[in-house]
Amino acid sequence: MNATKTKHFVWQPILLILTLLVIIVLTLFGPDERTLGGTLSLVLLHGAWVWTGKVCFGLAVLAGLAALIWRTRAHWLHLTRALAYSGLFFWLTYLPMSLLVMQLSWGGFFFDEPRWRIPFLFGVVAVLLQAGLWLFNYPILTALGNIVFGIALWWQLGGLQNVLHPEAPIATSDSTNIQGYFILLLVLSLIFAVQLILWLFKRLRQTTPPK
């Protein structure tokens, strides 16, 4: 690896950490709300976080389709993997965040809440799926696995019924400050995701050539 590539590899994790720190600081010093109080910032972050994970898995579907169409172009395979791995990172970190929000907002855990139960099941499936795809390392299987998983996730989450979880709390909020703050967290989360995807993509392109 030459000096330019080495410098690039060093800067990418640094930028990732800096972006994450900005997100954490904004969450710690975010706005309050009469009902949720200081918990509001964490509630907004967990919403932005899960949407970012959904976007990653959705884009992994598109990259997987491209990998099936253009099988000789390995970068599509690396991209669908990088997107799926990034989506998995957001999903697995969203789940404990969701538990914390549940505890702080409702005063306990309600594991039958569909907004928790279904994402948790998809998290378990995602871990097992990516582990299996990594072990087999078969391009067509990887592309198909990411396509099926991403479509199933979006389809299932789109039809969820709420029990305690409010219906579209950000969209129905009367506060433009809350909506603007959520959009800011979402944009920063997406920027963090792009940085993570690019870092994983470059590592995969160098270390895991397809069969």
Q: Average pLDDT per run of 10 along the chain, which is 211 residues long? A: 55 88 88 63 89 96 94 87 97 91 69 79 95 92 96 86 56 70 93 96 77 49
Spatial distance between the Cα atoms of 97 and 23, rounded to a whole number of angstroms: 14
What is the amino acid identity at position 30? G
Distance CA 186, CA 54 (A): 12
Query: Is residue 35 exposed (0-12), middle (13-18) or buried (19+ Cβ within 10 Å)?
Result: exposed
Q: Which two tokens stand for residue 210?
A: 């397809």
Q: How high is the pLDDT of residue 132? A: 95
Q: State how far Cα 190 lies from the chain centre.
A: 9
Q: What is the pLDDT of residue 177?
A: 78
Cβ distance 101 to 46 under 8 Å? yes
Candidates 174, 188, 157; CA nearest to 18 is: 188
d(CA 210, CA 203) in angstroms, rounded, equals: 13
For residue 208, the SS3 value is: coil
pLDDT of residue 6: 53
Report d(CA 96, CA 5) in Å as an integer. Answer: 35
pTM, two decimal places: 0.86
Task: Report the first-to-last Cα separation within the chain, whole angstroms.
Answer: 23
Neighbours of 56 (CB within 10 A): 25
